[in-house]
Every structure is written in structure tokens, then in C-alpha cells.
Amino acid sequence: MEPDRQAYDRGQTIFSPDGRLYQVEYAREAVSRGSPSVGVRTAEGPVLAARRPLRSPLIEPESVAKIHEIDDHAAVAAAGHAADARRLVEVGREAATGHRIRYDEPIGTDALARAVADHVQEHTQTGGSRPYGTALLVAGTDGGLFEVDPGGTVAGWRAGAIGADAGEVRSVLAEGLEDEPGTLDRGIELALGALAREDSLEPEEVAVATPDAGEPATFSRLSSAEIDRFTPAS
């Protein structure tokens, strides 16, 4: 049976006898080893926050991209393989641009998440490719917050987390999220508190993006000084 197990293990297009796709499960494991990202939906729009993996004090923090702009009104936070995330960001940008050209309006967050998820899902059933080893939290100024996982599944969240210790991070979010936060400031506090848990956070270790107050609203990133106001103390 060993050669059979290896076949199920190596081919993402082959189901195991118990209905599993091992390569997709390995891709999810890659996500669980990435630094965590968090999304919190508020009455003023969704907040995205992510820990940046700074492997050396010589690294320029801003060069470690964990949050990416898709369009003026949409952004994503990633966990897992950074190169895979970069490719999915391009897929999302192509979908957003195509929607604007075709319909002369911004793509909805739900439609954007599903367009990226459709591309991800194709790589779970196509020979000669592999699943993406990354997950995304897709947020929009329309209030949407969705997760796209390596299997191509889409789920909407009031508050979600991907990456290392995602279950524990979600538990912290659940404890502090009795109702939808009314302000972005409260959403930022919840997101950073969940990322920190029992640790301290330095502003340069975190990236945060929120909708601004413009018309139409667009996503903007907080500066280190702005993040410092919300960073939990040790």
C-alpha cells in the first residue's frame, strides 16, 4: 500500500480513499506556519492588521508586505508563502480592473473574494500545478470581510484570523467581540490585542490598514506613530 499512499500524497488531483486531498492539507499547514493576520469588521468599515516577520534588525520593515491594496476600495492581508500571496494579489487586481472596465463600478468585496477563490480552486484539480500555500483576508470599504483558503473556500467573518495560532487569535477576538465595534479605533484595538495576546508589540512589527473618511472611501495604512497609540503595553 505504500506506493498508493505516496500517489495520494504527491498528487493534488487524486483523492485518498477517505476523501482527502493531501496537497491541499499541506498548503493549509504552510499557512499555519506564517505570521498571523487579523480582520475585524466595524460599523465604519473593516480593519486589517498583520504581524510582520522581521528576521533581522537590518531588514527595512516597510519592505515586508503583509497587507496589499487590490483597488482603491479593497485590500487583503496574507499569511503563508509571501510569493504565493503576491501572485494572488495580482489575480485580485486583474479581477478588480476587469470589473471596472466592464461595469464602470468597483467590484464588491464578495465578488472579489470569489474571483480569487475560483483561481485558487483551479489549482487543486489541475495537473502540473500545486495549491497556493497562502490564505487571504479580503476586506472592502463596503464592509465586507472574507477569508480565502488554499482549497478555494470562501467564508465571511465578523472577525477572522489566519496564520500561526489562528485558533487562539480567534478566541481572543471572540472574547472581545460581543457586538460589532462601532468605530475603527475600537476595531484596531481588538485586532492588535488579538495579535499581541500576552506579548508586547512594537509598531514596526505590525501593519494596519483601514478605510479613510474620504468620499469615496479608500484604504489607507497607519503610520508607526498612529499604530503606537493602539499598541498594547507589555
Number of structural domains in the chain: 1
Residues 170-197: pLDDT tens digits?
999 998 887 667 899 999 999 999 999 8
Region 49-78: mean pLDDT is 88
Cβ 71 vs Cβ 60: under 8 Å: no
Residue range of the domain that includes 109? 2-230
pLDDT at 1: 43
User: What percent of the chain has a predicted confidence (pLDDT) above 90?
Assistant: 63
pLDDT tens-digit readout, 127-160? 788 999 999 999 999 999 999 999 999 999 999 9
CATH of residue 191: 3.60.20.10
